[in-house]
Amino acid sequence: MISESTTTRRIVAALHRREFTKTASYFLLLILSYYLGYLSALIKIPSYHHATTTKVNSPPQTTDTDHYLFQTRCADPIPSQLFHQTILDRIFNGSSPYKDFPQPHIKPLLRYKRIRGWGSTGLVFKNLIHKVKPKTIIEIGTFLGASALHMAELTQQLGLQTQILCIDDFRGWPGLSTRFQDIKMVNGDTMLLYQFMQNVVHVNATERVIFLPFSTGSTLETLCEWGIFADLIEVDAGHDFHSAWSDINRAYKLLRPGGVIFGHDYFTAADNRGVRRAVNMFARVNGLRVKADGQHWVLDTV
Ligand SMILES: C[S@@+](CC[C@H](N)C(=O)[O-])C[C@H]1O[C@@H](n2cnc3c(N)ncnc32)[C@H](O)[C@@H]1O
């Protein structure tokens, strides 16, 4: 390999042969290197604009798209009678989280019953539960349990032994405490989960309503790995496009054949119609037809 100094000496010698003085040759070389260096810096240093936006000029390679595709295969289904115990074993060390609830130090922080929801008792719940007669319902976004407890009541009225699995991190959203001042906060920890549990205990639904207090993304992936599927899935967690899109994609693969997935806020403009855009795009990509039922969207698998 030719070293840089050898190259420099050769260029200087060549320039010298063409009757440049040695000093002028070095000077010319200096200008040339500066110019080339400047050009290469322009190519290498990204501007802040480039750093914050991703511009794709060529179609993504198959390996690139793999990263943002959702996993479509889950474990083989386990029998639905095992769901409750599987969740107790794998999340709550084998015993019910309602055991000895509420603890004496928590009790004074809770209201006997505090329910608040949004469209949580709409006719869509009755319509779908009567149609599907679900053994298992997964609710994505539970809050204080208004819709979950409404579904528990409806399934009980029909004499169904339905298990309702509620997925929620029970953190609400940033700013929850200003809007729900009666939900206490202890050292920055909102009592939303405990108030939800209290609501479940209040209507004696602890055998039918179990909760998975984690992020929707990781929990849906985990249910897929454990082979836990549902006949009816309600999506009502994050309402921005990306949250709704990922929840719907992850939830859909947990739907049993013949099942129905539905969700609230199809018409809400608050989140730039994030839910609506996600539902419509999902339906288009999967060749499904979106039905509206009140404020809710519904996607059938049949
Ligand atoms: C609109 S509320 C659900 C209301 C409930 N379905 C009802 O009708 O009563 C939305 C809930 O989703 C939960 N949530 C939002 N994003 C979440 C996420 N990424 N993981 C877990 N929970 C989330 C919040 O904590 C909140 O309790």
Atom of ligand 1 nearest to the CA of 120: 8
Residue bearing the bigger pLDDT, 193 or 46: 193
- Please tell me the total number of residues recorded for the chain in this structure: 302
Residue bearing the bigger pLDDT, 73 or 108: 108
What's the distance, Cα to Cα, between the start and end of the chain in Å?
69
| Rounded distance from Cα 48 to ligand 1 centre (Å) | 35
Does ligand 1 have an atom closer than 6 angstroms to the CB of 142? Answer: yes
Q: Is 214 exposed, middle or buried (0-12, 13-18, 19+ CB in 10 A)?
A: middle
Q: Where are the beta strands (DSSP E) in the chain?
A: 136-140, 163-167, 185-186, 189-190, 209-212, 230-235, 255-263, 291-293, 296-300
Query: Is pLDDT of 4 > 50?
Result: no
| Rounded distance from Cα 17 to ligand 1 centre (Å) | 79
- Range with the largest mean pLDDT of 5-9, 118-122, 205-209: 205-209
Query: Is pLDDT of 55 > 80?
Result: no
Q: Return the ∠ at Cα 251 (arms to 212 and 166), rounded to 5°.
A: 25
Each residue's pLDDT tens digit, 247-256: 999 999 999 9
Q: Which amino acid is at 213?
A: P
Please tell me the predicted confidence (pLDDT) of residue 71. Answer: 73
Please tell me the predicted confidence (pLDDT) of residue 119. Answer: 84
Residue bearing the bigger pLDDT, 73 or 29: 73
Confidence of residue 40 (pLDDT cuts 50, 70, 90): very low
| Rounded distance from Cα 112 to ligand 1 centre (Å) | 22
**pLDDT exceeding 70 applies to what percent of the chain?**
77
Q: How far apart are CA 116 and CA 148, in angstroms?
A: 12
Query: Is pLDDT of 159 > 90?
Result: yes
Choose the residue to mutate in 124, 179, 203, 216 for probing ligand 1, maximizing ligand atoms within 8 Å of C-beta.
Answer: 216
CA nearest 8: which of 38, 39, 25, 19?
Answer: 25
CA 247 to chain centre: 5
Please tell me the predicted confidence (pLDDT) of residue 59. Answer: 62
Peptide linkage before 102 cis (omega within 30 of 0): yes
Please tell me the predicted confidence (pLDDT) of residue 57. Answer: 63
Read off the pLDDT of each residue in 9-34 and give the average, rounded to a whole number: 59
Structure tokens at 162: 């339905």
Q: How far apart are CA 134 and CA 186, in angstroms?
A: 38
Q: How far apart are CA 139 and CA 247, in angstroms?
A: 11
Read off the pLDDT of each residue in 10-31 and give the average, rounded to a whole number: 59
Read off the pLDDT of each residue in 280-298 and give the average, rounded to a whole number: 95
Does ligand 1 have an atom closer than 6 angstroms to the CB of 236? Answer: yes
Work out the mean pLDDT of the chain and round it to a whole number. Answer: 86
Does ligand 1 have an atom closer than 6 angstroms to the CB of 219? Answer: no
Lowest mean pLDDT among 16-25, 128-137, 249-258: 16-25
Does ligand 1 have an atom closer than 6 angstroms to the CB of 141? Answer: yes
Please tell me the predicted confidence (pLDDT) of residue 116. Answer: 87
Each residue's pLDDT tens digit, 62-86: 666 666 778 778 999 999 999 999 9
Structure tokens at 156: 């009980």
